[in-house]
Copies of this chain bind each other. A is one copy, B any other.
């Protein structure tokens, strides 16, 4: 039974060090969150799983890591300066600002319904508010020398299309994958890490010849749903595909399908997979009139490159079509935590909270626990096992002796540690000759089953199961 409320997750995340409010000691900064000791591991694990699946295990993908600050022309020709806006309404009396599309009928709504009892001022007509963060670059504050914080990682890929092509000799079709921060000045950040001002994206721009685009689009949808299910542990029956209706599509988009997940706040987008046609590469190209671009693009006197692919067999320059799978890291984490969060009633009537994370995602892989903390031989053996495991690959391993064994198990269950290893008197051969010397108890998180494993077999045993 996954988490039913956001509060269950917020509370666990704060208490156990997954996610904290940003700048908390100064009252926070709305829409920002800090990933704590366990959160940073979960996040890194998720990003690595994605990279492995989408870059390493494919033959047609390159990686990229572009900068967050980009020349402002990138955002002019991407269309963001003009269209990356939310409709804003002002209250003429209290100067409050609100998103128009979050009021049912802004014109007749009294302001008091928004913050009851405070103000009943007259509201303005909605007007466009650009959601890109802007900053002055360089020492001279002239109107030309500013930059935006990227509101998406995608454009860093498009403007590097030629650089990647020239340095790798790729043939179509191929993709470029990128993971990185993006920033949006949301008017009303909300729902924990679901809608925030600073977030992280995992994006692919997959370039192909026109005509190949539809099949590739469908293949990505299927592949990425499978990935969320098989590798991230989301249940297939909490995922739906939303076919964006044609009247809601951007003018250049041929088709967009959103992978929706049933979060505690309802069914919301986890990843969007769009067919963006040749809009992006066409928009960022010079000499557009000499290229055959099907999308409607604005004239571009600033670009210094044609972002085309030379099709040798047919001797012409193609402006490739683009399929874009775009997923949110923070939303991915929220979905994974939602799915993994479980409250179970045990046989003895107690409740245990357990995070049923896929072992590859678990922040801590192994906890080594001494049955008795004032027994030097047990403590020494436990610490030796910790060292043994943490040096075999990248197994995050912890040692904990700060409570009784039952409580230690519960602590690890709650943060999703798949294996607890207990060192006891049998391990150190203190009891009678029972053949258990140099073996430990391995306890499995979900089943709570225990088995006896030789210390020397532990690295292989654990690695095989992660």
| Interface-lining segment among A13-21, A203-211, A223-231, A260-268 | A13-21
Instruction: Report the Cα distance A303→B24, complex, angstroms.
Output: 9
Nearest-neighbour CB distance to chain B for A304, whole angstroms, equals: 5
Chain A: residues with Cβ within 8 Å of the partner, total of: 93
A129 proximal to B (CB < 8 A): yes
* CB-CB nearest in chain B for A58: B390
CB pair A71–B17 under 8 Å, yes or no, is: no
CB pair B25–A66 under 8 Å, yes or no, is: no
Residues facing B in A380-397 (CB within 8 A) are 383, 386, 390-391, 394-397
B residues near A133, Cβ cutoff 8 Å: 135-137
> Given B52, B139, B307, which contacts A88 in the complex, CB threshold below 8 Å?
B139
B residues near A38, Cβ cutoff 8 Å: 167
A74 proximal to B (CB < 8 A): yes
Nearest-neighbour CB distance to chain B for A60, whole angstroms, equals: 11
Residues facing B in A26-46 (CB within 8 A) are 26-41, 43-44
B residues near A399, Cβ cutoff 8 Å: 59
A276 proximal to B (CB < 8 A): no
Residues facing B in A399-430 (CB within 8 A) are 399, 402
CB pair A14–B70 under 8 Å, yes or no, is: no
Per DSSP, are chain A's interface residues mostly helix, strand or loop, or mixed?
A: mixed
What sequence of 0s and 1s flags, for each residue 164-197 of chain A, a beta carbon within 8 Å of any chain B beta carbon?
Answer: 1001110000001010010101010000000001
B residues near A31, Cβ cutoff 8 Å: 137
| Interface-lining segment among A154-162, A237-245, A251-259, A309-317 | A154-162
A57 proximal to B (CB < 8 A): yes
CB pair A135–B160 under 8 Å, yes or no, is: no
* CB-CB nearest in chain B for A187: B139
Instruction: Report the Cα distance A25→B308, complex, angstroms.
Output: 13
B residues near A160, Cβ cutoff 8 Å: 20, 24, 34, 36
Q: Could you jot down 12 A-B contacts, CB within 8 Å?
A: A15-B167, A23-B73, A29-B137, A29-B147, A34-B64, A37-B167, A39-B65, A40-B64, A40-B65, A52-B394, A56-B390, A135-B135
A-B contacts besides A27-B71, A34-B67, A59-B383, 9 pairs, CB < 8 Å: A24-B163, A24-B304, A29-B67, A35-B64, A38-B167, A40-B64, A69-B197, A97-B140, A134-B135
A residues with CB within 8 A of B? 14-17, 20, 22-41, 43-44, 48, 51-52, 55-57, 59, 62-71, 73-74, 88, 95, 97, 129, 133-140, 147, 149, 156, 159-160, 162-164, 167-169, 176, 178, 181, 183, 185, 187, 197-198, 284, 302-305, 307, 383, 386, 390-391, 394-397, 399, 402
